[in-house]
Chain A
């Protein structure tokens, strides 16, 4: 057994991938944990943002790191608008209606993405991020390293914001009891809008870091939605640090599964893990313990 080739390299690959997975899932976790909304369009937004990001970097030739900012900003505004037009409008509707609305949004986003970018698979030209760092027998992709670092930094920053600031306490309080949050004078509608927009912006951010490490096409969002739910269910709702840990676990499992099993079985292992998690927490998402974010 070659220690570096068989153990350290896949572990490192898994950890880097896990940092990206954490970044992919955090928006879903935030919206589900705080607003109790199952955003089925989460990864459709993520893929759409990834395609927009690809357009800016690949076609317009702009800097891949700098272009993360406008993409995230655009989707923050999209989140604000979606909350105003759809979420707030349906705030008294049943959960089923809300889920169907997000299913509709998912279909619309996918359709628009296919109209603009077709169903072709896209690969981001990495430019200066395309380098590989060699440490002895270890190979580290700069793009994966940067994407993972960005994912980890964003998750830790969100954790600090939610646990160390008064607004973060207000968001956590709102997640625990919206009525009482209203009673103490918090403008729950406005704060919810910002939280939702942040969740959508995090989805867009996830799309940009995913684009750095994977090729993708407009129809792949369903697979990534399963991934995101797996990370959220493993980590528990709304906990950004646990989401990070869950992302790392999924990344490492995927990496070793890919090493030990034929490629076709890799996804099966992760879907089986998702199924087991749902069986263990046998009431599905409703039984996932809600923690302090």
Chain B
């Protein structure tokens, strides 16, 4: 399978079912959340700061276990699986902020992205070659420390490292945070390309206009609870009102 042709028909639905979660004993960040990430679609999660957007991604990726409720991938309950086990099932996460391993070379970053192929060196090399083919700009940086890359180059490496195992579901957290407007456009161009390829994406971003523009379906959260959800078309007319509402929260 080439990196540009993803088997979307096999991608299962990822769901949060009545999930309540928090980081500390008496702390509830998400309360009775329901969310559904449809195969081959972009689902955006919006909301004010502290509404639980990134936490919902962390629950889906396995970094935070739900206190109650379930995380379902297709018909399978994956609530108890750790992030590595979820990645093996095709759920990959691109975290917010810089996430390259700065002191490792670009090539080593890609190798670690393909860590789950470590027992099959040929498959690992083929996966790296596919990513270099997809992002040719990486070719000239392969032996450079990832920490020396520019913001845009580092973001490309992060996309490559996340896509290297051809995951069935991509969880993308605040992809435009800390980037210049020009680079934000490039990041969204790349995400549009992923959408055109039929990838399944759950996107969290403060950049509301861009996130809604890319989405097929939108969820909004407030105070850790479901607020609104619906198709993108239903949201486009009410964005200004929503943003004003969030700013007042």
Contact = CB atoms under 8 A, between A and B. Distances in A.
A232 to B, nearest CB: 18
Contacts of B104: 169, 172-173, 176, 292
Interface stretch (A36-44, A69-77, A98-106, A177-185): A177-185
B101 A176 contact: yes
A166 interface: yes
A184 B87 contact: yes
B246 interface: no
A170, A172, A173, A292 pick with most chain B CB within 10 angstroms: A173
Nearest to A173: B101
Contact of A172 (B63, B103, B113): B103
B33 interface: no
A187 B83 CA distance: 9
A180 B103 contact: no
Interface residues of A, number: 18
B84 A187 contact: yes
Contact of B118 (A166, A173, A177, A292): A166
Interface in B48-105: 61, 63, 82-84, 87-88, 92-93, 95, 99-104
Given A179-B63, A183-B61, A185-B116, A169 B102 contact: no
B102 A176 contact: yes
Contacts of A179: 63, 95, 99
Contacts of A187: 82, 84
A186 B99 CA distance: 15
Interface string B106-137: 00110111011010000000000000000000
A291 interface: yes
Contact of B101 (A180, A182, A185, A291): A180
B101 A186 contact: no
A166 B111 contact: yes
Nearest to A291: B103
B217 interface: no
B100 to A, nearest CB: 8
A62 B17 CA distance: 64
B165 to A, nearest CB: 8
B84 A180 contact: no
Interface of chain A: mostly helix, strand, loop or mixed: helix
Contact of A176 (B82, B87, B103, B116): B103
Nearest to A183: B93
Contact of A173 (B61, B63, B112, B116): B112
A86 B95 CA distance: 30
A166 B63 CA distance: 24
B240 to A, nearest CB: 35
A291 B115 CA distance: 22
Contacts of A170: 112, 115
B83 A169 contact: no
B108 A169 contact: yes
A184 B63 contact: no
B92, B93, B103, B116 pick with most chain A CB within 10 angstroms: B103
23 contacts: A169-B104, A169-B108, A169-B111, A170-B112, A170-B115, A172-B101, A172-B104, A173-B112, A176-B101, A176-B104, A180-B95, A180-B99, A182-B83, A183-B61, A183-B83, A183-B93, A184-B113, A184-B115, A185-B83, A185-B165, A187-B82, A187-B84, A292-B103
Given A173-B101, A176-B103, A185-B83, 6 more contacts: A169-B108, A177-B99, A182-B83, A183-B95, A185-B84, A186-B84
